[in-house]
Amino acid sequence: MSAPNLNPQSSLSATIPVAEQAYLRSELERRRTRLQSALSSPASGSLTSLLDEVDAALARMDEGTYGICEACHTAIEPDRLLADPLVQFCLDDLTREERQALETDLTLAARIQQALLPQPHLSASGFHARYHYAPAGLVSGDYCDLFQSNGSLIFLLGDVSGKGVAASMLMSHLHATFRSLANVDLPLERMVQAANRIFAESTLAGQYATLIVGRASQDGTVEFVSAGHLPLLHLSCNAPAVADATGLPLGMFTNASFTVHRLQLAPGDALLVYTDGFTEALNPDGEEYGIARMKTFASGCSAKAPDQLISDCLQDLRSFTIGTKPTDDLTLLAIQRA
């Protein structure tokens, strides 16, 4: 077994980006300050123990061994460090009790995330909506929401950077942000700009989300912003129309602006939105499903109800992948004017 690398520039930096390293140090120092303040009053032994753990973690940072498993001296999973900066062991070296505790936490996180999802079927403001949400693991970084606000149907679908618990936490952050902003009844561009500013100011550098935010009105008008997301498909009696991204992903720049695009849906027209877990799914030969195939398949689905549209899309995907295991979260959203 090799000895741990004691070079600060080659251990932590090899596993965690610089911005996240700075965040972890500031988070540990913040905890240290709060613990010291709490210890100024009559304290329990648990607070003293926590302070010792924080001090030890900061010492490992100075030595260049932070983020290295105490048992096997390999890198600890970065998303676990971001969730808990005091972690000292990689997943492979957790005790049975620690594994059980982690599984319990993940199960709880999955239940919370499922509770944040909208109802599977929603009919509002002259539209019918249906979605399919399939995490690759227990929790997902995909974001999907549907709700009625001030006489319109608000729909959101996106993909947060990263995977696992860290991504699911960002997904929950977006959910709370947009639900709050929708109550203010802002114009769509101002809503997205405000959400972008909040997201950018409260996340780490390098964390972002691609996202489609739309508002569908009773008269069939749909306005939407695509913040770096995959093309939205407008299905009508003609060939599917593709609406590409109209802005940068959320969270990249605090003062980013976003362009609102508008569509007019005739009765029976539908919108199909999806995450890259669909288009980047691979067949046994390593070929991606791709946007072109989705557009071709969707061209024959213009008159289908949302639940049938999603069902047929998933069946075509299964036929393409032929049983290969999904490696990414997958979400589909179909909205049809009644």
Q: How far out from the chain centre does Cα 161 lie?
A: 6
With beta carbons less than 8 A apart as the criterion, state whether 164 and 139 touch.
yes
Q: Is the pLDDT of residue 315 over 80?
A: yes
Counting Cα atoms < 13 Å in the Cβ hemisphere of 322 gives 7
| Confidence band of 137 (pLDDT split at 50, 70, 90) | confident
Q: Would you state the pLDDT for residue 9? A: 40
| Closest by CA position to 174, among listed 155, 160, 188, 185 | 160
Express each pLDDT in 26-46 by its tens digit.
888 888 887 887 776 655 566
Checking 11-15 for CB contacts under 8 A at 24+ apart, the result is: 11/64, 11/65, 11/66, 11/67, 11/68, 12/61, 12/64, 12/66, 12/67, 14/75, 15/67, 15/75, 15/76, 15/78
Quote the pTM value. 0.75
Q: Would you state the pLDDT for residue 12? A: 56
Residue showing tokens 């709700």: 147
| Confidence band of 14 (pLDDT split at 50, 70, 90) | low
Q: Is the pLDDT of residue 83 over 50?
A: yes
| Confidence band of 321 (pLDDT split at 50, 70, 90) | very high
**Rounded mean pLDDT of the chain?**
85
How many CB atoms are located within 10 Å of the residue 249 CB? Answer: 22
Q: Would you state the pLDDT for residue 25? A: 86
With beta carbons less than 8 A apart as the criterion, state whether 174 and 211 touch.
yes
Q: How far out from the chain centre does Cα 58 lie?
A: 30
How far apart CA 170 and CA 161 sit, in angstroms, is: 9
- C-alpha dist (Å) from residue 238 to 186, 222, 253, 273, 299: 33, 18, 37, 18, 8
Q: Which of 10-14, 34-38, 135-139, 177-181 has the weakest average pLDDT? A: 10-14
How far apart CA 248 and CA 229 sit, in angstroms, is: 9
Residue showing tokens 């288009």: 279
Contacts of residue 115, Cβ cutoff 8 Å, sequence gap at least 6: none
Over residues 219-247, mean pLDDT: 86
Express each pLDDT in 251-301 by its tens digit.
888 888 899 999 999 999 999 999 999 999 999 999 999 999 988 888 777
How far apart CA 207 and CA 200 sit, in angstroms, is: 8
Domains of the chain from N-terminus onward: 12-94 (1.20.120.910), 113-337 (3.60.40.10)
